[in-house]
């Protein structure tokens, strides 16, 4: 029963991992950009929420309405102004740009806010939970996180498969040069894809901060690792795979946590290595053709 | 006024000059065939016209408007569409989705999904199939259909029979008159000289980046054309290389 409890906690945690990995998966899938700054941008999202709370006194939940669109717009312009130029210089250049961003963000945050944890209060939801029986209880906040994550993945999947822009994104991932020959400026498509990636990672960043009770400047170095592991475990190019990857990673961490408090991270990495060794295309990913 | 007017166009890769001082024009409804051996610069010329490659000198005028420095995606909106060599469909999209991306410019004209399905029934049968799972001939039909979806005034066909079974090539060429019915102009690049001469209103022969022969197919003997093609005993070629008029 204890095992069942930790598995259900793992599933809930997996929702958060999946949410934080969606943007990484999208950026790689459509733009072929490996965003090393993914975790630090999540942290930035958390800090933007904190700043918004400080200035307006609003509840953390409402900051989503401001921070998520703002990060979306930032993502669009970072793509158009920085990464698009770098893409012309080969595959390594965008990687270096995101690496640079991943150094600038935490160091600036330390300068501006010190190393202390900045609170992102969850409110009454922090302690409320649903008691299933006397051994299993499900926290309301993690349940909401999982719900948001599933809704977002379904919405994004629909967007990619049903809308015009979604079609252009998939076409751009296949062959951006030919997409231009169809009359579509692929740079704009890339910008919008990166904007969506930034919006989702901002959501994940705030929720991650809320779960931890707050944000600190160097959170990103760990969250980027979870996001990468989630994408690889689930399989590149499959959003459902990303959800599954998050859940597998979440379960691995919480179950290992039952045995020793030092084990969760190690267990997560071992599952990740196991997938890389025995199923490199990921659980739901298609085997690489090209 | 010709539909497309190319004046003294040159382009190249780095120091290599791929096409040099090419001039020709295409009238509305006309089919111009570009012929020439491998590496003569035919594909480069097409790429320069659609804007995937930039020219080093010269100008391209389309429907009276200078488009020489316009980016490729805008030229499609003007009405120039390329069917690229090797088809290059979007492999992860279905056939129908490929066609819909082809219609991205929202240009008005005779072509839409229904008209395409009527012209090429095979495309309708395959519409829900993933483009990666098509035979070469099916891919070519879809690639032409995708280009038509932009309702172009001028369509450039680059090596459409390359690697296809003769029977499939026959089918594709059989659809050509219907495609041209609406007054569409075509620039055709094709290895098969015999087939090309049959359908072309006008031919232009390229040799090592230079235009060496131009006119109606009926104006030339077979020998003249093959000589130009392979560069045998061609005084006009050495003249143009030397810059002598």
Structure confidence at residue A287 (pLDDT): 55
Whether A121 maps to a domain, the answer reads no
Q: Which domain holds residue A142?
A: 2-115+135-278
Q: Do B93 and A175 touch (CB under 8 A)?
A: no
For residue A273, give how far its alpha carbon lies from the nearest alpha carbon of chain B (Å). Answer: 29
- Predicted structure pTM score: 0.90
Average pLDDT over chain A reads 93
ipTM of the complex as predicted: 0.89
* Token reading at A115: 């190393």
CB proximity under 8 Å: A 168-187 to B: 168, 170-171, 173-175, 177-186
List alpha helices for chain B, DSSP H: 42-50, 72-78, 95-102, 113-119, 121-125, 136-148, 166-174, 176-180, 193-199, 222-230, 235-242
Kindly state whether residue A288 falls inside one of the protein's structural domains: no
Q: Is the pLDDT of residue B243 over 70?
A: no
A187, A191, A192, A193: CA torsion to nearest 10:
100
Nearest to A189 by CA among A202, A178, A200: A178
The distance between the two most distant Cα atoms of chain A, rounded to a whole number of Å, is 63
Residue A289 confidence class, pLDDT cut points 50, 70, 90: very low
Residue of chain A with shortest Cα separation from B156:
A181
User: Is position A289 within any domain?
Assistant: no
Structural domains counted in chain A: 1
What share of chain A in percent tops pLDDT 70? 98
> Does residue A123 lie in a domain region?
no
User: Which of chain B's residues have a Cβ under 8 Å away from the Cβ of A167?
Assistant: 93, 97, 100-101
Residue B64 sits at φ, ψ, to 5 deg, of 80, 0
B222 CB near a chain A CB, below 8 Å?
no
A128 within domain boundaries: no
What is the nearest CA distance from B222 to chain A, expressed in angstroms? 36
Say how far apart CA B139 and CA A270 lie, in whole Å: 44
Cα–Cα distance, A252 to A255 (Å, whole number): 5
Position A290 in a domain = no
Any domain includes A58: yes
* Those residues with Cβ within 8 angstroms of residue B146's Cβ, 6 or more apart along the chain or in another chain: A182, B83, B89, B98, B99, B101, B102
| Residue pLDDT, tens place only, A90-99 | 889 999 999 9
Q: Over 60: is that where the pLDDT of A290 sits?
A: no
Q: Does A126 fall in a domain?
A: no
In this complex, which of B76, B92, B100 lies closest to A181 when CB atoms are compared? Answer: B76
pLDDT for res B70: 95
The pLDDT of B165-179, averaged and rounded, is: 88
Would the pLDDT of A269 be above 90? yes
Q: Give the mean pLDDT of B116-137.
A: 92
CATH for A31: 1.10.3470
- Of A114, A113, A192, A200, which is closest to residue A153 (Cα–Cα)? A200
- Interface contact flag, B105 A174, Cβ < 8 Å: no
């Amino acid at each position: 029963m204890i095992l069942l409890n930790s598995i259900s906690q793992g599933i809930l945690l997996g929702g958060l991992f999946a949410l934080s990995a969606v943007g990484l998966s999208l950026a790689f899938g459509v733009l072929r950009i490996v965003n090393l700054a993914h975790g630090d941008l999540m942290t930035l999202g958390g800090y933007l929420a904190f700043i918004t709370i400080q200035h307006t006194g609003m509840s953390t939940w409402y900051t989503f309405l401001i921070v998520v669109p703002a990060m979306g717009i930032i993502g669009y312009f970072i793509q158009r102004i920085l990464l698009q130029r770098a893409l012309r210089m080969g595959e390594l250049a965008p990687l270096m740009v995101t690496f640079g961003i991943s150094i600038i963000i935490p160091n600036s945050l330390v300068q501006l806010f010190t190393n202390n944890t900045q609170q992102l209060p969850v409110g009454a939801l922090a302690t409320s939970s649903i008691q299933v029986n006397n051994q299993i209880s499900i926290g309301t906040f993690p349940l909401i996180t999982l719900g948001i994550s599933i809704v977002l993945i379904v919405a994004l999947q629909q967007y990619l498969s049903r809308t015009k822009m979604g079609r252009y994104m998939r076409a751009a991932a296949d062959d951006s040069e030919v997409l231009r020959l169809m009359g579509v400026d692929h740079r704009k498509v890339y910008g919008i894809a990166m904007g969506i990636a930034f919006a989702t990672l901002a959501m994940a960043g705030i929720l991650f901060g809320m779960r931890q009770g707050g944000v600190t400047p160097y959170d990103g170095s760990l969250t980027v690792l979870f996001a990468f592991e989630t994408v690889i475990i689930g399989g590149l190019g499959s959003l459902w795979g990303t959800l599954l990857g998050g859940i597998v990673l979440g379960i691995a961490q919480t179950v290992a946590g039952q045995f020793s408090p030092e084990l969760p991270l190690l267990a997560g990495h071992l599952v990740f290595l196991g997938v890389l060794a025995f199923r490199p295309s990921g659980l739901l990913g298609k085997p690489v053709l090209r | 006024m010709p539909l497309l007017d190319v004046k003294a166009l040159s382009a190249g890769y780095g120091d290599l000059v791929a096409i040099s001082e090419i001039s020709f024009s295409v009238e509305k409804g006309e089919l111009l065939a570009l012929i020439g051996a491998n590496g003569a610069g035919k594909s480069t010329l097409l790429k320069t016209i659609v804007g995937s490659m930039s020219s080093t000198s010269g100008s391209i005028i389309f429907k009276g408007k200078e488009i020489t420095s316009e980016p490729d995606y805008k030229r499609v909106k003007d009405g120039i569409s390329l069917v690229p060599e090797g088809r290059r469909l979007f492999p992860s999209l279905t056939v129908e989705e490929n066609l819909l991306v082809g219609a991205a410019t929202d240009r008005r004209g005779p072509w839409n999904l229904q008209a395409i399905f009527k012209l090429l029934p095979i495309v309708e049968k395959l519409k829900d199939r993933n483009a990666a799972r098509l035979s070469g001939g099916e891919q070519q039909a879809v690639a032409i259909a995708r280009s038509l979806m932009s309702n172009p005034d001028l369509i450039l066909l680059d090596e459409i029979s390359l690697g296809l079974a003769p029977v499939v090539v026959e089918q594709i060429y059989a659809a050509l008159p219907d495609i041209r019915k609406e007054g569409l102009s075509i620039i055709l690049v094709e290895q098969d000289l015999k087939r090309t001469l049959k359908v072309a209103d006008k031919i232009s022969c390229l040799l090592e980046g230079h235009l060496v022969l131009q006119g109606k197919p009926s104006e030339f003997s077979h020998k003249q054309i093959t000589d130009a093609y392979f560069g045998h005993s061609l005084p006009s070629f050495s003249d143009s290389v030397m810059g002598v008029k």
